[in-house]
Structure 1
Amino acid sequence: MVNKLFSFSASATVAAMLISFLPQAVLAQEAPSRAETASGNAAFMKKSDIMTPATGAGLTMRNPKADAAEAAKDVSKVVKEAISRSQKFVYHFTKPENGSGETIVLLHGSGGNETSLVPFAQEVWPRATLLGIRGRVLQEGRTRWYARITPVKFDQKDVRNEADAFVSFLTKLSEDDQIDLSRTTFVGYSNGANLLAATMILHPDLVKKAVLMRSMPVLDQTPAANLSKAKVLVVTGADDKMYAPFAPALSDLLRTSGAKVDARVVKAGHMIGAKDVSLVTAWLSGQGPDGAPAMSQAVTAKVKDKTDKLKALPEAQEPATQSEQALEQSKK
């Protein structure tokens, strides 16, 4: 019996010595970089190593306030380290035969890309040129237009920086005669609509006509802006429990800035579908010669069939991110 115990103890000691010489485990590995092109424009994502700190490590229960402050710092660190950003906007033009000359700029929701809103837009603007643009931010695996801290709290500096970059990008396209900003309608959904609304406040001369679906105000401080030449349709989902309560504040902000705002509510959640197509089409039909024509019954039926199958990616219903989970832990 003694021999067996000695043998087991010796084996355990040798195993421990061998393990101590093994290389340390890889904590995070950078995903292979990928070059993506759109309309001849290459965009390379700049990846950073994502090293997630163990939130709460080293905290004690002796000083809850100090513990909470330390946890908040960890949350901020998680948010910063979980973000990468491309240097250029990935974009894609969809041009129909016998086009109307109008351009529709599409800004996707969280997790979407430059083609996410194309099926929706093609039903409303069948003869327009569609310009789908992808947000430059990649946060915890999801494409976005700016960094967020929680679903309803956003990185203010990043919102402003990305709005500036978006305007510079569109201005360059206009200077290169790729789009005519005087005949352009902007369409944003969720995260994209939020960036679009912020851009209108920060750069009031750019957008003259906009459709904002499932949106909310994201700027904590808003400068004075003259939007007297802008026409805006704000579409809110009645069952969008997280974002619907914020929609009136956005409409009021735009109206206070001088925009002509038509705020509507559809019987839907955060997802967009046939009701949104019908509402946007009806609104555009009263906006003058550049508005969309009224749809026939046959086209309406086709729209319903297609839009019911749209797989828009909702920002409000996405699972809690790592940083949000850390924030919740800091409150406990």
Structure 2
Amino acid sequence: MSRDAYQHVSKAPAPGAPLVFTFHGTGGDEHQFTGLVGQILPAAGIVSPRGDVSEHGANRFFRRKAEGVYDMEDLAVRTRKMTDFVRAHKQANPGVLLYGLGYSNGANILASVLFEAPDLFDRAVLMHPLIPWAPAPDPTLLGRDILVTAGRRDPICPLPFTETLVAHFEAKGANVELLLHDGGHEVRQPEIEAVTTFLTRKT
């Protein structure tokens, strides 16, 4: 396992603070959410990888064949790589709570890692995820806290897929919160407020 498997930015957490992993959307980079995390949790550590797949020059975390049609073999390989990357950083920070925050493609790789290795993250925020596959049904996310945010009119991540993902998480025993706004794929202020409340809540 390598802590340098991805180009990334990182900052060590202050004593007692969590370590937050951020995962950008398609076309973003490792800086997309570091400022937001710094505002919400100034003492937190940050690990923010850059997706190592290029789609016409846009950074992504795994390949797709078309909008909403994923290359599932590539997703499996990239999920294992990301899982190893996160676990390496976790082992380097023993006893520290791990939070994850992903948007769009970043939310999708985060969800896939949650299914693959439910022990890694203590809290996870998935903003506008699209998960067009069914995970294994075993209830392995018992007690994990997950926030899902989405737009009711999102043309990229249709609402029924979001609701199905929430059902998958609940079936696995996770504590799931869902926040919807009336817009599309854009991130709106109520989402930022919900993320702030979720990440700063005392355990």
Q: Same fold (TM over 0.5)?
A: yes
Aligned residues: 199
Q: CA deviation at 1:237?
A: 1.8
CA distance in 1, matches of 2:7, 2:28: 12
Q: CA deviation at 1:170?
A: 1.8
| Structure 1 partner of 2:26 | 110
Q: Which TM-score applies when normalising by structure 2?
A: 0.88
- SS of the equivalent of 2:153 reads coil
CA distance in 2, matches of 1:196, 1:263: 16
CA distance in 1, matches of 2:122, 2:73: 25
CA distance in 2, matches of 1:118, 1:136: 18
* Residues 16 and 96, structure 2, Cα contact 8 Å, conserved in 1: no
Q: CA deviation at 1:273?
A: 4.0
- SS of the equivalent of 2:107 reads helix
Which of 83, 96, 120 is the aligned partner of 1:167?
A: 83
| Structure 2 partner of 1:309 | none
Q: CA deviation at 1:173?
A: 2.3
1:279 aligns with 2:194: yes
| Structure 2 partner of 1:235 | 149
1:265 aligns with 2:173: no
* Residues 123 and 277, structure 1, Cα contact 8 Å, conserved in 2: no
Question: Match of 1:114, as an amino acid?
Answer: E
Counting only pairs closer than 5 Å after superposition, residues 216-255 of structure 1 correspond to structure 2 as 216-218=130-132, 220-225=133-138, 226-245=140-159, 246-255=161-170
| Structure 1 partner of 2:126 | 212
Which of 38, 48, 61 is the aligned partner of 1:145?
A: 61
1:67-104 alpha-carbon deviations (Å, 9 max, x no partner) = xxxxxxxxxxxxxxxxxxxxx311111458x6652111
Q: Which TM-score applies when normalising by structure 1?
A: 0.55
In angstroms, what is the RMSD of aligned CA positions?
A: 2.1
* Residues 127 and 150, structure 2, Cα contact 8 Å, conserved in 1: yes
CA distance in 1, matches of 2:147, 2:167: 12
Which of 105, 108, 128 is the aligned partner of 1:191?
A: 105
Which is richer in strand? Answer: 2
Question: Match of 2:27, as an amino acid?
Answer: G
- SS of the equivalent of 1:270 reads coil
Identity of aligned residues (%): 24
Question: Match of 2:197, as an amino acid?
Answer: A
1:90 aligns with 2:7: yes
CA distance in 2, matches of 1:120, 1:227: 26
Structure 2: give runs of 5+ residues left out of the alignment. none
Higher relative CO (Cα under 8 Å, sequence separation at least 6) belongs to 2
Q: CA deviation at 1:224?
A: 3.0
Deviation above 4 Å: which 4+ runs of structure 1? none
* Residues 19 and 46, structure 2, Cα contact 8 Å, conserved in 1: yes
CA distance in 2, matches of 1:171, 1:261: 23
CA distance in 2, matches of 1:99, 1:140: 41
